[in-house]
């Protein structure tokens, strides 16, 4: 497979995180400040993840991507502090996503495994948004 094809798959699956923006937009009037901040974090994290997959030699973008993922996690935890069951679910889901990412090795199948990870991570994001809003 060509490098451009592999990059395209990674970018497409990374962009799936934007799907988690839509459910929270429905509640923007009810939770305007938190929704705007949360959507900004999701948007920036997704943008820098896409930039990282366009040039995986750029360490600055990699560190910004990792930092934004950490901010996203902290935001998930902050929002879920009001409900201990929700907090447990958020921590568990984020731990699973983190653990799965550590299992992925850089080899000729990286783009497939990491793309699957993006899809699973996007589903996790949708589920967390669902938990927050219900």
Q: What is the pLDDT of residue 10?
A: 82
pLDDT, tens digit (0-9, with 9 covering 90-100), for 24-74:
676 655 566 777 788 888 899 999 998 988 888 999 999 999 999 899 888
pTM, two decimal places: 0.79
What residues does each domain of the chain span? 3-133
For residue 39, give the nearest of 53, 27, 51 by alpha carbon: 27
Residue with tokens 């930039």: 51
Average pLDDT over residues 89-93: 86
């Amino acid at each position: 497979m060509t490098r451009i094809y592999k990059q395209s798959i990674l970018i497409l699956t990374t962009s799936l995180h934007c799907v988690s923006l839509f459910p929270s937009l429905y509640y923007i009037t009810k939770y305007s400040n938190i929704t705007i901040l949360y959507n900004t974090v999701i948007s920036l994290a997704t943008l820098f993840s896409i930039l990282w997959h366009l040039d995986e030699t750029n360490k600055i973008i990699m560190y910004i991507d990792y930092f934004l993922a950490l901010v996203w996690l902290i935001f998930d935890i902050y929002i879920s502090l009001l409900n201990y069951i929700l907090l447990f679910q958020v921590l568990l889901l984020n731990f699973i996503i983190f653990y799965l990412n550590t299992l992925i090795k850089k080899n000729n199948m990286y783009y497939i495994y990491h793309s699957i990870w993006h899809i699973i991570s996007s589903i996790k994001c949708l589920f967390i948004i669902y938990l927050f809003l219900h």
